[in-house]
């Protein structure tokens, strides 16, 4: 499509640092694409206001953040994913685009159906398009799952805040940093920052106790071995992000976790820091 991503530093919320945006915006910038990483909406409003001060579009990647309707007020487009691994998902690959702009909505529908006009048989209006519509089976699955979404979200929020309460002592001892966004968060994942330990050590320790810890994204985008990443010219600017990433680890969190299972995970974490 002729667009090249320009990477921006994150802060300890793991979302775009609004203070870093002004350093990378130039005459070629067309849009800002913040990600609600791990389910957190932190900094989204600030990013939106910076973008609009430069008259730029905002496209939010909310693939991990389904369930916070206010996002649409801070974006031209919000993109959702219904991958089976997300907080709500179908049985296969599917997603959605949300916008309050009729023109963008019409254009998206045309792109998703091979470039045809909506409601007209085999009448093309675009030079190209995708076969990107959700099929009926996936839509039926999603509609049924929506009936249970609020209950499942409540479970995740309860477990996430229980982690915060139970792990607070270790944070107060300055051993870890717990998630900073605790209100507008769908808790797709539960990340923590290790201040004085290596994530690999906790992963190995967890394995010895039959608990799976993980770094969900082990490689940052600008460190891939792709042609674009290999030739990216501003890697030094992203040292802050690399430092944060080197300290991150994710601990188990899912709708069906029992408090008994969670207590066992918490005990393993405390044992690790002894």
173-184: average pLDDT: 96
Containing domain of residue 119, as a range?
Answer: 18-139
Tell me: do 191 and 119 sit in the same domain. Answer: no
**How many structural domains is the chain composed of?**
2
Tell me: do 128 and 154 sit in the same domain. Answer: no
Tell me: do 193 and 262 sit in the same domain. Answer: yes
The pTM of this model reads 0.93
Alpha-carbon span 180 to 42, nearest angstrom: 8
Residue 169 lies in a domain: yes
Residue 42 lies in a domain: yes
Residues 205 and 82 sit within 8 Å (Cβ to Cβ): no
Tell me: do 41 and 70 sit in the same domain. Answer: yes
- Chosen domain end from 139, 162, 181: 139
pLDDT score at 114: 87
* pLDDT tens digits, 232-270: 988 999 999 999 999 999 999 998 999 999 999 999 999
9-38: average pLDDT: 95
pLDDT score at 265: 98
> What CATH code is carried by the domain that includes residue 84?
3.40.640.10
Residue 86 lies in a domain: yes
- Judged against a pLDDT cut of 80, whether residue 82 lies above it is answered with yes
pLDDT score at 240: 95
Grade residue 1 by pLDDT with cuts at 50, 70 and 90: low
Q: Nearest CA to 24 among 242, 245, 240, 234?
A: 234
Tell me: do 243 and 214 sit in the same domain. Answer: yes
Instruction: Please state, as a whole number, how many other Cβ atoms lie within 10 Å of the Cβ of residue 273.
Output: 16
* pLDDT tens digits, 115-136: 888 888 888 888 888 888 889 9
Residue 98 phi/psi, 5-degree rounding, is -120, 135
> What CATH code is carried by the domain that includes residue 160?
3.90.1150.10
Alpha-carbon span 100 to 133, nearest angstrom: 19
181-192: average pLDDT: 96
Q: What is the mean pLDDT of the chain?
A: 94
* Nearby residues of 27 by Cβ (< 8 Å), 6 or more positions away: none
Residue 99 lies in a domain: yes
What are 75's two structure tokens?
């974006």
- Percent of the chain whose pLDDT exceeds 70: 100
* pLDDT tens digits, 83-96: 999 999 999 889 99
Residues 10 and 241 sit within 8 Å (Cβ to Cβ): yes
- Chosen domain end from 85, 105, 139: 139
pLDDT score at 123: 86
């Amino acid at each position: 499509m002729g667009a090249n991503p320009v990477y921006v530093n994150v802060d300890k919320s793991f979302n775009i640092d609004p203070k870093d945006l002004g350093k990378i915006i130039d005459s070629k910038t067309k849009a800002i694409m913040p990600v609600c990483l791990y389910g957190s909406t932190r900094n989204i409003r600030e990013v939106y206001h910076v973008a609009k001060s430069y008259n730029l579009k905002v496209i939010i990647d909310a693939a991990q953040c389904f369930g916070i309707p206010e996002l649409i007020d801070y974006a031209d487009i919000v993109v959702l994913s219904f991958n089976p691994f997300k907080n709500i998902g179908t049985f296969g690959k599917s997603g959605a685009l949300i916008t309050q702009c009729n023109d963008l909505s019409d254009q998206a529908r045309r792109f998703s159906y091979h470039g045809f006009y909506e409601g007209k048989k085999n009448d093309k209006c675009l030079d190209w398009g995708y076969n990107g519509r959700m099929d009926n089976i996936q839509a039926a699955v999603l509609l049924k799952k929506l009936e249970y979404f609020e209950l499942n979200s409540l479970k995740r929020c309860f477990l996430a805040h229980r982690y915060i309460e139970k792990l607070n002592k270790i944070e107060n001892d300055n051993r870890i940093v717990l998630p900073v966004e605790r209100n507008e968060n769908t808790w797709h994942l539960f990340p923590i920052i290790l201040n004085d330990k290596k994530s690999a050590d906790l992963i190995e320790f967890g394995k010895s106790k039959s608990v799976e810890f993980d770094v969900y994204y082990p490689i940052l985008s600008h460190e891939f071995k792709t042609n674009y990443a290999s030739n990216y010219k501003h890697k030094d600017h992203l040292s802050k992000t690399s430092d944060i990433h080197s300290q991150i680890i994710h601990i188990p969190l899912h709708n069906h976790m029992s408090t008994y299972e969670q207590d066992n995970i918490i005990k393993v974490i405390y044992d690790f820091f002894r």
